[in-house]
A and B are shown apart, each in its own frame.
Chain A
């Protein structure tokens, strides 16, 4: 089955640690995105990538880093510089721009908690 997989589902981080969230897709999508969602809030864009080896900052990139070495994979690292990392993190992918019905498909999300 084609889809987008995030792991782990739950992640606990000690203050001062870096953690990496995994996102893999087998939909052959060029574009991938990372969003953050806080309780009762909408989705805010952290980073996005339109093609391999290229990515751009979103609205709230500070304290986060990404890589896009393969088309299928777009891992997100939450660094110790992120002051309030506890949130629900969602990875998405979609077809390239200009294609009709370019809806985004989501992974199941990673719930990160700082302990």
Chain B
């Protein structure tokens, strides 16, 4: 079983739609969680950290479920500019290395 798993998609949605991605992780000792965005042929950039109580940043909402070992990202009112790959990242105590999921591709169309 991979440490961090994501549905690769693509998720193909119209502008204005709400879309949600999930990510599961295998190590129950994982301590820090993040969502990154990666545009085609570019480096990943931090979208948001994921806190235990859940957190929101504008149209983006992140949730953490430790019991079921998954995190989620909800995007409301999708824009064309949201089209990208969204990477789930988990850091586990000890070496604290960022471990990446394969990414979920989102395509927002007019």
| A residues whose Cβ falls under 8 Å from a Cβ of B | 31, 33, 35, 40-43, 45, 48, 50, 56, 58, 88, 90, 92, 94, 96-98, 100-109, 111
Contacts and interface: CB of A to CB of B under 8 A. Distances in A.
B110 interface: no
A24 B91 CA distance: 23
A41 B44 CA distance: 13
Interface stretch (B14-22, B57-65, B67-75, B94-102): B94-102
Contact of B43 (A42, A98, A107): A107
B96 to A, nearest CB: 3
Contact of A90 (B34, B43, B89): B43
Closest 5 CB pairs of A and B: A97-B96, A42-B102, A106-B43, A43-B100, A104-B98
B91 A102 contact: yes
A50 B97 CA distance: 9
Contacts of B95: 48, 50, 56, 97
Query: What size tier do the contact residues of chain B reach?
Result: 20 to 34
Contacts of A100: 32
Given A42-B87, A42-B102, A42-B103, A109 B43 contact: yes
Contacts of A106: 43-45
A35 to B, nearest CB: 8
